[in-house]
Protein backbone atom coordinates (compact mmCIF):
# COMPACT_ATOMS: atom_id res chain seq x y z
CA UNK A 1 0.00 0.00 0.00
CA UNK A 2 1.38 3.40 -0.93
CA UNK A 3 1.68 6.16 1.65
CA UNK A 4 -1.05 8.81 1.52
CA UNK A 5 -0.13 12.23 0.19
CA UNK A 6 -0.49 14.97 2.85
CA UNK A 7 -2.03 18.25 1.71
CA UNK A 8 -0.24 20.85 3.85
CA UNK A 9 -1.75 24.19 4.78
CA UNK A 10 0.74 26.99 5.40
CA UNK A 11 0.64 28.81 8.74
CA UNK A 12 0.62 32.55 9.26
CA UNK A 13 2.84 32.16 12.32
CA UNK A 14 2.86 30.52 15.73
CA UNK A 15 -0.53 30.12 17.43
CA UNK A 16 0.12 31.59 20.86
CA UNK A 17 -3.31 32.85 21.99
CA UNK A 18 -5.55 30.62 24.09
CA UNK A 19 -8.90 29.85 22.45
CA UNK A 20 -11.87 31.56 24.13
CA UNK A 21 -13.99 28.41 23.63
CA UNK A 22 -14.73 26.59 26.88
CA UNK A 23 -13.67 23.00 27.28
CA UNK A 24 -16.52 20.50 26.95
CA UNK A 25 -16.79 19.00 30.44
CA UNK A 26 -20.06 17.14 29.68
CA UNK A 27 -18.65 15.00 26.91
CA UNK A 28 -17.03 11.62 27.33
CA UNK A 29 -14.63 12.72 24.62
CA UNK A 30 -11.45 14.06 26.19
CA UNK A 31 -11.52 17.40 24.42
CA UNK A 32 -13.52 19.39 21.86
CA UNK A 33 -10.40 20.78 20.21
CA UNK A 34 -8.82 19.33 17.08
CA UNK A 35 -5.06 18.76 17.12
CA UNK A 36 -2.75 19.64 14.25
CA UNK A 37 -1.98 15.96 13.74
CA UNK A 38 -5.59 14.95 12.91
CA UNK A 39 -6.29 14.28 9.22
CA UNK A 40 -9.17 13.10 7.03
CA UNK A 41 -8.39 10.59 4.28
CA UNK A 42 -9.70 11.00 0.74
CA UNK A 43 -11.17 8.72 -0.50
CA UNK A 44 -12.88 7.56 2.67
CA UNK A 45 -13.21 4.00 1.41
CA UNK A 46 -10.11 2.24 0.14
CA UNK A 47 -9.45 -1.21 -1.23
CA UNK A 48 -6.34 -2.51 0.52
CA UNK A 49 -5.76 -4.95 -2.35
CA UNK A 50 -5.66 -2.06 -4.85
CA UNK A 51 -2.60 -0.51 -3.16
CA UNK A 52 -4.15 2.99 -3.06
CA UNK A 53 -2.84 5.58 -0.62
CA UNK A 54 -5.16 8.51 -1.24
CA UNK A 55 -4.71 12.01 0.16
CA UNK A 56 -4.80 13.37 3.71
CA UNK A 57 -6.45 16.70 4.51
CA UNK A 58 -5.97 18.56 7.79
CA UNK A 59 -9.15 18.23 9.84
CA UNK A 60 -11.11 21.44 10.35
CA UNK A 61 -12.37 22.45 13.76
CA UNK A 62 -11.57 24.51 16.84
CA UNK A 63 -7.95 24.63 17.97
CA UNK A 64 -6.77 25.08 21.56
CA UNK A 65 -4.36 27.84 20.58
CA UNK A 66 -5.15 30.36 17.86
CA UNK A 67 -3.30 32.96 15.77
CA UNK A 68 -5.81 35.82 15.55
CA UNK A 69 -7.00 37.79 18.57
CA UNK A 70 -10.80 37.23 18.65
CA UNK A 71 -11.68 40.79 19.75
CA UNK A 72 -9.85 42.25 16.73
CA UNK A 73 -10.97 39.69 14.15
CA UNK A 74 -13.42 40.53 11.37
CA UNK A 75 -15.28 38.07 9.16
CA UNK A 76 -17.04 38.27 5.81
CA UNK A 77 -19.64 36.03 4.25
CA UNK A 78 -19.38 35.90 0.46
CA UNK A 79 -22.03 34.22 -1.67
CA UNK A 80 -22.46 33.93 -5.43
CA UNK A 81 -26.07 35.08 -5.43
CA UNK A 82 -27.55 31.89 -6.81
CA UNK A 83 -30.38 29.85 -5.35
CA UNK A 84 -29.22 27.72 -2.47
CA UNK A 85 -31.82 26.19 -0.14
CA UNK A 86 -30.83 26.77 3.48
CA UNK A 87 -28.29 29.53 2.79
CA UNK A 88 -30.21 32.06 4.92
CA UNK A 89 -30.00 29.66 7.87
CA UNK A 90 -26.26 29.24 7.38
CA UNK A 91 -25.70 33.01 7.23
CA UNK A 92 -27.90 33.56 10.30
CA UNK A 93 -26.00 30.89 12.26
CA UNK A 94 -22.62 32.36 11.32
CA UNK A 95 -23.80 35.84 12.33
CA UNK A 96 -25.22 34.60 15.64
CA UNK A 97 -22.02 32.76 16.55
CA UNK A 98 -19.84 35.75 15.69
CA UNK A 99 -22.07 38.31 17.39
CA UNK A 100 -23.06 36.49 20.60
CA UNK A 101 -20.01 34.30 21.21
pLDDT digits (tens, 9 = 90+) for 14-68: 889 988 877 666 655 556 788 888 888 777 776 666 666 677 788 888 888 889 8
Helix (H) or strand (E) holding 40: strand 39-42
CA 19 to chain centre: 14
Rounded to an integer, the average pLDDT of 70-97 is 87
Which residues in 20-54 are b (16+ Cβ under 10 Å) and which e?
eeeeeeeeeeeeeeeeeeeeeeeeeeeeeeeeeeb
* pLDDT at 25 (0 to 100): 65
pTM of the model: 0.54
Domains of the chain: total = 1
What per-residue confidence (pLDDT) applies to 30?
57
Q: What is the pLDDT of residue 93?
A: 92
pLDDT, position 38: 82
pLDDT at residue 87 greater than cutoff 60: yes
Range of the domain at 87: 5-100
Amino acid sequence: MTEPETIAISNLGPCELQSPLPRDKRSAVEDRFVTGSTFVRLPLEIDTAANSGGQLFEKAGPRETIFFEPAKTKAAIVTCGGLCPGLNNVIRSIYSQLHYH
